[in-house]
Structure 1
Amino acid sequence: MRVKKQKRHRKVVRFYSACFGFRDPYKVLCDGTFIHHLLQHRLTPADDVLAHLLGARALLFTTRCIIGELRSLGESHSEALEAAQELITARCDHENRVSALVCVESVIGETNSEHFFVATQDVDMRKKFREVPGVPVIYGLRNSLFIEQPSSKQKEFVKSTEEKRLHMNEAEYLKLHKKNLKDEMANNSENDMAEEPQVRKNISTAKRMLGVAEKSKFKRKMAKGPNPLSCKKKKRKYDTSIAKNQDRADGGPTKKKRIRKRKRSSKPDAPTS
């Protein structure tokens, strides 16, 4: 049973997220009756309990008028007053304190632009916000919390505005039109760059058919620099005779003498008598 209840709550949260733009973290505007109910049934810490209910992180808000109303109730609501003073204070433009219903109604406005969940135990306040599109209501029943299902008026409002949400508004149409113009200009520039070589090729073919020569074929011969080999300095030949005389003068190497070898005959000596 608990799993079914949780699925039903998640479905309601998805409805308001898809149709009215509610986003995580969810803002919950609590009045004095709801804060007192949480403390009375020990549903603490309140931000964790509401985060479990909504399936995402929750930020708890109240107003100065609600805090003033709790202060006027005396000692019976002193604990609720201390808890309310620890919550985030939503801005209300009331110089003098007004009732919680009037204050919350002024904060929500006609369209609930701040995307508040209204948490209350006040029956009149719950009936009031069933008629306002885009305002989900949270209430407590003993030690459990519930989210009211979207009313028939809220569902009718969603159906009537569905046609507008499906189609582009004027600002979105202008933005898309500008983007299409930029893309078209970029494509045209790319096509021009791709066609340029083909145009040049066609011009050269036409010149050839008309007998007009291109400038590149009649390049004028310009004087070039001298041949680098002809500019090389001649090497000086080395005179060997000068080197020999220089060696002799310096007592250098002298000419070797030829050594003669005696030849011995192979005939035997004559016998002596």
Structure 2
Amino acid sequence: MRFKKQKRHRRTVRFFSVNFGFRQPFKVLCDGTFVHHLLHNDLTPADKALSNCLSAPVKLFTTSCVLAELKKLGAAQSASYQAARKLAVARCDHEKKVSADACIEDVVGENNFEHFFVATQDADLRKKLQKVPNVPLIFGLRNALFLEQESKFQRDFVKSSEEKRLHLTEKEYKALEKRITSVSANADDEYLVDDEGLGCHNPGLQPHNTRNYSGKERDVKDRVRFKRKRAKGPNPLSVKKKKSRENPNRASGKEVKADDGNAESKRKRKRSRKGKTLAGTDVAV
């Protein structure tokens, strides 16, 4: 249950931060009823209890009218008065002191420029402030603090403001029309006749520099021309040297010649003459 409550509080804080620009540390404007509730339920120190509720650092404020109202209540609220005096005092500009709820309504105003979180136990005051678009409300229940979810009025206000941002205002629309007429008049005067003297139709708005000219005819270069990178040869220091190859024909020729000589030498045989006889004699030598 506690985890769901913290998740709901973070979502509400994100809603006001994104749509209305609330920033940390958050300013919390406390009235007398809320200070009394903190003391009665031992939710002290107050800044720590509120920072745990909002999951962010906080600064506590009150008004001089709230202090005057607590002082009038006498001894019954003396502890609350002493605790409220320790808080920072927000400027309310009331010469004559008014009630605390009226003072807080005036400080918040219609736009809540100071981005105050209002902490109060007054149910009627919370209902009134729910009609102000950017006022988050804090209240206490026993020993726990709660941040009210954004009201339906606040959600509708954010939705309508987002839709308005998507459309042009009357002032912007008139300025756009004036610009269109001036540009179209200049374009008609400049491009009414082409180079051959023939009439040309200028449909709508055309920028001044959108005529179809080739790049050579323009005096000013439209594009920056970069030098095209071309493929380069390999690094000569990283290339191996080519090995010189011997002529295979020469080597083979030598071998052939050598082989032929061997063959011839082998073919020549020395014959023994033991069996030969001298001519004219029958005796063998």
User: Do Structure 1 and Structure 2 share a fold, with TM-score over 0.5?
Assistant: yes
Counterpart code for 2:59: L
Counterpart code for 1:155: R
Structure 1 counterpart SS, 2:110: coil
For 1:101, the equivalent position in structure 2 comes to 101
Inter-partner Cα distance in structure 1 for 2:6 and 2:76: 33
1:65 equivalenced with 2:65 (yes/no): yes
* 1:118–1:97 distance in 2 versus 1, CA, 3 Å: same
Inter-partner Cα distance in structure 2 for 1:147 and 1:164: 29
Inter-partner Cα distance in structure 2 for 1:36 and 1:12: 25
TM normalised by structure 1 equals 0.62
Q: Residue 159 of structure 1: CA displacement?
A: 0.5
Q: After superposition, where does 1:1-273 map in structure 2 within 5 Å? A: 1-165=1-165
Inter-partner Cα distance in structure 1 for 2:160 and 2:125: 25
| 1:54-73 deviation digits (Å, cap 9, x = unpaired) | 11110000000000000001
Inter-partner Cα distance in structure 2 for 1:15 and 1:61: 22
* 1:35–1:168 distance in 2 versus 1, CA, 3 Å: farther
* 1:129–1:62 distance in 2 versus 1, CA, 3 Å: same
Inter-partner Cα distance in structure 1 for 2:81 and 2:59: 18
Q: Aligned-pair RMSD on alpha carbons? A: 2.7
* 1:57–1:191 distance in 2 versus 1, CA, 3 Å: farther
Inter-partner Cα distance in structure 2 for 1:12 and 1:194: 52
For 1:219, the equivalent position in structure 2 comes to none
| 1:152-193 deviation digits (Å, cap 9, x = unpaired) | 11111011001244579889xxxxxxxxxxxxxxxxxx9699
For 2:260, the equivalent position in structure 1 comes to none
Consecutive unaligned residues of structure 1, counting only runs of 5 or more, are 172-189, 196-273
Structure 1 counterpart SS, 2:91: coil
For 1:179, the equivalent position in structure 2 comes to none
Inter-partner Cα distance in structure 1 for 2:153 and 2:222: 58
Q: Figure out how many residues of one structure are paired with residues of the other and give that number.
A: 182
Consecutive unaligned residues of structure 2, counting only runs of 5 or more, are 173-219, 226-285
Inter-partner Cα distance in structure 2 for 1:115 and 1:19: 12
* 1:83–1:167 distance in 2 versus 1, CA, 3 Å: farther
Structure 2 counterpart SS, 1:27: strand
